[in-house]
Structure 1
Amino acid sequence: MSRVNTVLGPIPPEELGAVAVHEHIGYGMPGSELDTQWWRMPEEHYEATVPKLRQFREYGGGTFVDVTGICNGRDVDYYKSLSAKTGVHIVACTGFVGGDTALPFFARASVDYLTRHFVHEITVGIGDTGSRAGVIKVGVSRGGRMTELDQRIYRAAARAAATTGVPILTHLAIDAEPAVAIFAEEGLPLDRVLFGHADDGLNSPRTPHEWIFEQGGRIGFDTFGYETEIEDLPFWARPRQERLDHFLRLLNNGHLDQLLVSADANCSPLGWPGVKGHTVNYIFEDLVPDLRDAGVAEATVTKLLIDNPADFLTIRT
């Protein structure tokens, strides 16, 4: 039976509903739990997060993919509580946002060890939670080039994905050539990889969109909502219309099957204030109306939010 791993157990892909494929319940850098300026009680995180997930559900959202990763605040028992409370399916990940977020124990580990660890979290469970990871997260470290550690993580992720059938999401789509080479060497089909943040204002000029499509990879426009027009401007922001026009060009160039969308929002950030007013619900409150206003057909919206994510997240044995 086709299935997707969620924190409350595997479900058929047709039960996913509309999917936010690249999001965070709470993301922070290693050590953020020690920062007294931005530290919050668990109850405060809960109070900030539940209304957002309930609103997501009311808008028609079905599944929230958390790509926080090891060492960045991943808390699967918390995710299980949130999923049961709100009715939103939550998919947890294994892997790392980037090599520079891996604590020394993992940073010094071999490819074989990392592979075994990822496979264990996918097939047995994450810690003692009983929940299995549904995706693998990898990323390019700060600086924009893959480090030796990044390459070890990518290779381990490729082996784990090929072994278990779960897909890979990347943080950033820059310096994609060495990543694609590793995936090819490990025999992982590129349609099992979503190259993320291809739309952010800082890195979109450095993302080889057409080349990734030609290799068979998928691209994530998953920083929707981080716009230069908002009050709390992040450094990766981009003008709203510029991003939308860029996305529509790729749609019109025939790449619908290889595109996924999300907002990369933080429900309750860890160790930093976050971006005021930006939530996962930008997808429904702004992106979908913008697409409809631009003449995008309902069938295309359905494919972006339901069909493409279901195909991508389904475990392939």
Structure 2
Amino acid sequence: MTRVNTVLGPIAVEELGFTSIHEHIGYGMPGSELDTRWWKDPEVRYSETVPKLRAYRENGGNTYVDATGICNGRDVDYYKSLSDKTGVNIIACTGFVGGDTALKHFADAAVEYLAEQFIHELTVGIGRTGGKAGIIKVGVSRGFKMTPLDLKIYRAAARAALATGVPIITHLAIDSQPAIDIFHEEGLPLSRVLFGHADDGVSQGKVDEEGILSAGGRIGFDTFGYDLELPDPPFWGRHRDERFQHLMRFLRAGRVDQVLVAADANCSPLGWPGVKGHTINYLFEQLIPDLRQDGIDEATIHRLFVTNPADFFTPSKEK
């Protein structure tokens, strides 16, 4: 039986339930904790985060995958408290959002050291928290091209995924061929990799969707809610219907099993004001009603949010 690490301990993959695969409890760039303008005390962070997670649970959400990597504000003791307060399973990650968020200690390290770091956090625990990571995060640095450091992190992630059986999620799906090459060289099946943010506004025209899919990879439609219709939309925003129709093209083409969906919500942003009007609950308040209105049946919605995440967390040899 496959078991998945949450911050409160491992659970059976069947217990994941409705899962949003790419979210953030509180994300910030390295050093944001020293920014006096946006620094937040714990009470403020709790007041911003608990209502969103409770609403997610009340709406039917069961598991929240936190994709906040090392150096970006990851706080497992905080996650444990939130999970206990709200009843939401929280899965923490190891790895880095991108090479440009890895502090020098890690940036200068060898592949072997990074792989050992990831494996330790997945099997022993993160720091002294007692909580273990349940997924690996990697990413493409700013500039839309994989850097040598990115490639080193991807290779370490592939080795850790093979050693532990956990899957990998990426920040951005652009410049995917170097990543695919590394995963093939290391012997990692592409079904263990979710190429994320393929639906955001800045990635359009830069994602080789067919190359990823034909290699066996999965595509992340995981920035739902970052709509240009917002009063102050982010630079990665996209028109609501354009993103929705992008997903619908995949579903109508029978690609549902290679799709995972999320909102990339940031419950309590660190070091920046965040995006007003955007939360994890967009999935229930806007996206799922839109899917139903467009003729998507309940079985397909269940596959997107329950079956597909459970399958993604299940090692290939156990399927």
Alignment match, 2:308: 308
> When the two structures are superposed, what TM-score results if normalisation uses the length of structure 2?
0.98
Alignment match, 1:205: 205
Amino acid at match of 1:210: E
Instruction: Give, in angstroms, the shift of residue 233 of structure 1.
Output: 0.8
Instruction: Give, in angstroms, the shift of residue 14 of structure 1.
Output: 1.1
Superposed CA offset, 1:66-123 (max 9, x none)? 0000000000000000000100000000000000000000000000000000000001
Alignment match, 1:68: 68
Alignment match, 2:259: 259
Instruction: Give, in angstroms, the shift of residue 314 of structure 1.
Output: 3.0
Alignment of 1:208-287 (within 5 A): 208-287=208-287
Superposed CA offset, 1:254-299 (max 9, x none)? 1110000000010000000000010011111111001011101110
Other structure's SS at 2:68 match:
coil
Alignment of 1:75-224 (within 5 A): 75-224=75-224
Amino acid at match of 2:175: D
* C-alpha distance 81-316 of structure 1, shift in aligned 2 (>3 A): farther
Output the CA distance in 1 between the equivalents of 2:196 and 2:166. Answer: 16
Superposed CA offset, 1:124-169 (max 9, x none)? 1111111111000000000000000000000000000011000000
Alignment match, 2:12: 12
Output the CA distance in 2 between the equivalents of 1:96 and 1:267. Answer: 19
Superposed CA offset, 1:166-199 (max 9, x none)? 0000000000000000000000000000000000
* C-alpha distance 4-316 of structure 1, shift in aligned 2 (>3 A): farther
Instruction: Give, in angstroms, the shift of residue 315 of structure 1.
Output: 4.9
When structure 1 is superposed on structure 2, of 8-17 and 174-183 the one drifting more is 8-17
Alignment check: 8 A CA contact 1:4 1:315 kept? no
Instruction: Give, in angstroms, the shift of residue 2 of structure 1.
Output: 1.4
Alignment check: 8 A CA contact 1:166 1:316 kept? no
Instruction: Give, in angstroms, the shift of residue 206 of structure 1.
Output: 0.7
Output the CA distance in 2 between the equivalents of 1:153 and 1:223. Answer: 23
Output the CA distance in 2 between the equivalents of 1:12 and 1:281. Answer: 25
Instruction: Give, in angstroms, the shift of residue 13 of structure 1.
Output: 1.1
Output the CA distance in 1 between the equivalents of 2:145 and 2:220. Answer: 19
* C-alpha distance 215-257 of structure 1, shift in aligned 2 (>3 A): same
Output the CA distance in 2 between the equivalents of 1:10 and 1:315. Answer: 15
Amino acid at match of 1:26: G
Amino acid at match of 1:183: F
Alignment check: 8 A CA contact 1:96 1:137 kept? yes
Superposed CA offset, 1:193-216 (max 9, x none)? 000000001112211111111000
The answer to whether the aligner puts 1:46 opposite 2:18 as a matched pair is no
Alignment check: 8 A CA contact 1:250 1:256 kept? yes
Alignment match, 2:295: 295
Instruction: Give, in angstroms, the shift of residue 40 of structure 1.
Output: 1.0
Output the CA distance in 2 between the equivalents of 1:214 and 1:154. Answer: 20
Amino acid at match of 2:74: R
Instruction: Give, in angstroms, the shift of residue 20 of structure 1.
Output: 0.8
Alignment check: 8 A CA contact 1:164 1:316 kept? no
Output the CA distance in 2 between the equivalents of 1:132 and 1:41. Answer: 25
Amino acid at match of 2:117: H
Identity %: 68
